[in-house]
Amino acid sequence: MPAPAHEILLSVTRRQDHWCGEFVAMASPCQILSKADRATAQKQLQQVASEAWRIESKYSRYRAGNVVDRINSANGAPVLLDEETGKLLDFAATLYRISEGRFDITSGVLREVWTFDGSARVPGEDEIAAVLDRVGWDKASWERPRLRLEPRMQIDFGGIGKEYAVDRAAALAGSLSTAPCLVNFGGDIAAVNPAAGAPWRIGIEELGGGAGQPFKRIKLGHGGLATSGDARRFLSKNGVRYSHLLNPKTGWPVAGAPRSVTVAADTCTQAGMLSSLGMLMGADAEDFLERQDVRYWCIR
């Protein structure tokens, strides 16, 4: 049996002018870059990893017995929720409202008929229609601190959980030192304690034939960066590429969406929200992002 997360000891290594610590959480390679002294960077790494593992344990849809499992297995009964989960639900409800239903944390059940593994397996209209009956945040009853879903409905925090974890982890790391620090969970990033004239340099990955090479190199001194895209999750049939970004109203992939949207914002959570909404706007992604007054990069 593996050791509990809080007992796993991690170590930082020196890279140029900073310390780097790495671990795995939320099915992603994670790292912290810190310009603090080694002992402090070591403490930052341990706290960042512990917080990532805590949030993953609490909100992963793959874990039995956690709060998401309790909600999804309630079979129509109300579930009493803690303050942290309540705030995430409030945020998800806001996203549902401002996206006019495009962002919906109950849409995860669509994965029962869609498997984005690069194959040609596209579900039929009848299969999608059967699952759509269980999708719709407007069918949920959320009055703090109680949530009630219709039987067989589910929620999935996958669209906001990792970005939330990045911001939480970055805040913890920043509380231990005033030195510049960057937290990166699989491309979702937050930087704290910026140093004048010395921002972090980050590459946005190219897609297609240039995969693995930077499409764009940007500078980030403070705030968050997040990317949404379909580079690794898609279906292809008869020359048509089906993105894993699904419209919860129709059950079908969003039409005309970019291959990738990256956004820089004040926090990783905000950046993730805008990059996801940009993708969900499909062909109108650039127009939507222009109105948000943020830096963004789209790949089509």
- What does the DSSP assignment read for 131-194? HHTT--GGGSEEETTEEE--TT----GGGTHHHHHHHHHHHHHHHH-SS-EEEEETTEEEEES-
Residue closest to 162 by CA, chosen among 248, 19, 276: 276
**Who contacts 111 (Cβ-Cβ below 8 Å, separation ≥6)?**
none
Both tokens of 271, joined, read 């950046």
Q: Which CATH architecture has domain 67-159?
A: Orthogonal Bundle (1.10)
Give the pLDDT of residue 75. Answer: 96
Report CA Rg, the chain.
20
- CB-hemisphere CA count at 13 Å for 66? 17
pLDDT digits (tens, 9 = 90+) for 236-287: 676 777 778 899 999 999 988 898 999 999 999 999 999 999 999 999 999 9
Q: Could you tell me the residue ranges of all domains in the chain?
A: 67-159
- Which pLDDT does position 1 carry in this prediction? 37
What is the DSSP secondary structure assignment for residue 254, as one 8-state letter?
Answer: P
pLDDT digits (tens, 9 = 90+) for 147-165: 999 999 999 999 999 999 9
Q: Give residue 231's pLDDT.
A: 64
pLDDT per residue as tens digits for the range 89-120: 999 999 999 999 999 999 999 999 998 877 77
Contacts of 239 (CB under 8 A, 6+ apart): none
Alpha carbons 185 and 171: distance in angstroms, whole number: 14
pLDDT at residue 238, rounded to an integer: 66
pLDDT over 70, % of the chain: 92
Encode pLDDT of 52-76 as tens digits: 999 999 999 999 999 999 999 999 9
Q: Please state, rounded to an integer, the average pLDDT across all residues of the chain.
A: 91
